[in-house]
Amino acid sequence: WATPGPRIGIWSMMTPPEHRRKGAGRAVLTCALEALWGSGTEGAFLFSTPAGRPFYEAVGFAAVDDATTWTSGASEEFLAAIGQPTAVADP
């Protein structure tokens, strides 16, 4: 999901596990950016999970901030999928 404008927003991008590391994500993202990029485009931004960060950096994005994801009742599988620690310390 992307929005055009002076700053292109990439709001959601997910690649099913069976298609990862085969070029599918890179093809979709680079084609979308190429289609949306115009003479007035200043740049693009997105929010990424820690698991996605190496991919986005490899295609030219730079991290400007790190955020913490807070979840309540998330399964260990979900936390692992988004690259968050699965062990939670007791308060």
Backbone angles phi, psi at 9, to 5 degrees: -105, 125
What are the pLDDT digits (tens) for 48-85?
888 888 999 999 999 998 877 677 888 888 887 777 77
pLDDT at 88: 58
Cα–Cα distance for residue pair 35/29, rounded to 1 Å: 10
Q: Is the pLDDT score of 89 beyond 60?
A: no
Instruction: Using the structure block, give the residue that is written with the tokens 């404008």.
Output: 5
pLDDT at 76: 85
Q: Is the pLDDT score of 4 beyond 80?
A: yes
What are the pLDDT digits (tens) for 12-48?
888 888 888 899 999 999 999 999 999 999 999 998 8
Q: Is the pLDDT score of 86 beyond 80?
A: no
Sign of CA dihedral 12, 18, 20, 25: negative
Task: Give the torsion through C-alpha atoms of 5, 1, 57, 85, to 10 deg.
Answer: 140
Q: Is the pLDDT score of 90 beyond 60?
A: no
